[in-house]
């Protein structure tokens, strides 16, 4: 049995080109996707990576450049969940802010799956852990204004009946955000999507584990098209005439 597990783990590794070390930097591409992984997942895992690839491929087809960054945090199975969220939220806020300082013209997409959705939501709205640490990235700041879209997938803190909820788990939320935390996240309502299926045990208290695992298989095409539309609709962050083709004669 040990041998079988080792072999299948190895082939999963080879197929997905996953990594134990996060990708912490990106070029000043037109669009940079930040990804917060799920519990017990490697960085650049085979669950979330197809979404990054699909989004970048659609943007590239429009002539836009695209890159990604991993939000760095420990996701060890059975570890201290609150400590992991605190680490992820603090790092995510720092990473997005630092990247925006380096590349102020790049549109940013914030994205998280499962435990990583808890982190991504906290990056946007706090509380930055299981108790209050931060209100998240101010939506009126330079970094906040650079965020063109954000996606939460199977969010641990999924909140019922929010305008950005997608799928049939929209009215569920066993461990919801509330009060100021929800209000802070909702500064980003107009650029947010939260995918939650009713059967998902994590975001909806459902009974179908597969519904928590198959978001990216089912909705990558839909979500990546939505992200591209949000990027296309976003106001340019730097002078619209930054491209060399528009230099006045």
Ligand X SMILES: *[C@@H]1O[C@H](CO)[C@@H](O)[C@H](O)[C@H]1NC(C)=O
Which residues form the interface with ligand X (CB under 6 A)?
139-140, 145, 187
**Closer to ligand X at the Cβ: 182 or 213?**
182
Tell the smallest beta-carbon distance from residue 66 to ligand X (Å): 23
From residue 247, how far is each of 233, 238, 244 by CA, in Å? 23, 15, 6
Classify residue 215 as left (phi > 0), alpha (psi -120 to 50) or beta: alpha
**Closer to ligand X at the Cβ: 187 or 230?**
187
**Closer to ligand X at the Cβ: 100 or 139?**
139
Tell the smallest beta-carbon distance from residue 157 to ligand X (Å): 19
**Closer to ligand X at the Cβ: 145 or 212?**
145
Concatenated DSSP letters of 17-77: T-BSS--------SEEEEEEPPTTPPBT-TTTHHHHHHHHHHHHHTT--EEEEEPP----T
Tell the smallest beta-carbon distance from residue 231 to ligand X (Å): 16
Tell the smallest beta-carbon distance from residue 138 to ligand X (Å): 8
Tell the smallest beta-carbon distance from residue 97 to ligand X (Å): 16
Nearest Cα to Cα of residue 137 among 171, 206, 104, 185: 185
Tell the smallest beta-carbon distance from residue 198 to ligand X (Å): 28
Q: Tell me the three state secondary structure of residue 127.
A: coil
**Closer to ligand X at the Cβ: 26 or 231?**
231
**Closer to ligand X at the Cβ: 145 or 172?**
145
Sign of CA dihedral 95, 101, 106, 110: positive
From residue 151, how far is each of 14, 29, 51, 230, 237 by CA, in Å? 27, 19, 11, 12, 21
């Amino acid at each position: 049995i040990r041998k079988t597990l080792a072999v299948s783990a190895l082939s999963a590794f080879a197929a997905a080109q996953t990594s134990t070390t996060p990708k912490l930097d990106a070029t000043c591409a037109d669009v940079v996707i930040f990804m917060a992984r799920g519990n017990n997942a490697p960085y650049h895992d085979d669950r979330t990576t197809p979404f990054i690839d699909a989004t970048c491929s659609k943007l590239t087809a429009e002539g836009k450049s695209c890159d990604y960054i991993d939000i760095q945090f420990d996701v060890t199975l059975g570890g201290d969940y609150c400590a992991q969220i605190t680490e992820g939220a603090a790092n995510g806020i720092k990473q997005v802010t630092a990247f925006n300082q380096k590349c102020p013209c790049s549109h940013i997409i914030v994205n998280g799956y499962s435990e990583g959705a808890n982190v991504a939501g906290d990056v946007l709205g706090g509380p930055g852990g299981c108790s209050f640490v931060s209100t998240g990235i101010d939506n009126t700041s330079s970094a906040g204004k650079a965020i063109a879209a954000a996606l939460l997938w199977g969010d641990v803190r999924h909140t019922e009946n929010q305008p950005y909820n997608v799928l049939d788990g929209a009215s569920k939320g066993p461990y919801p955000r509330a009060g100021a935390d929800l209000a802070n996240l909702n500064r980003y309502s107009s650029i947010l999507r939260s995918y939650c299926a009713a059967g998902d045990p994590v975001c909806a208290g459902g009974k179908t584990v597969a519904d928590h695992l198959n978001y990216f298989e089912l909705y990558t095409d839909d979500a990546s098209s939505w992200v591209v539309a949000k990027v296309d609709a976003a106001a340019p962050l730097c002078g619209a005439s930054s491209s060399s083709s528009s230099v006045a004669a």
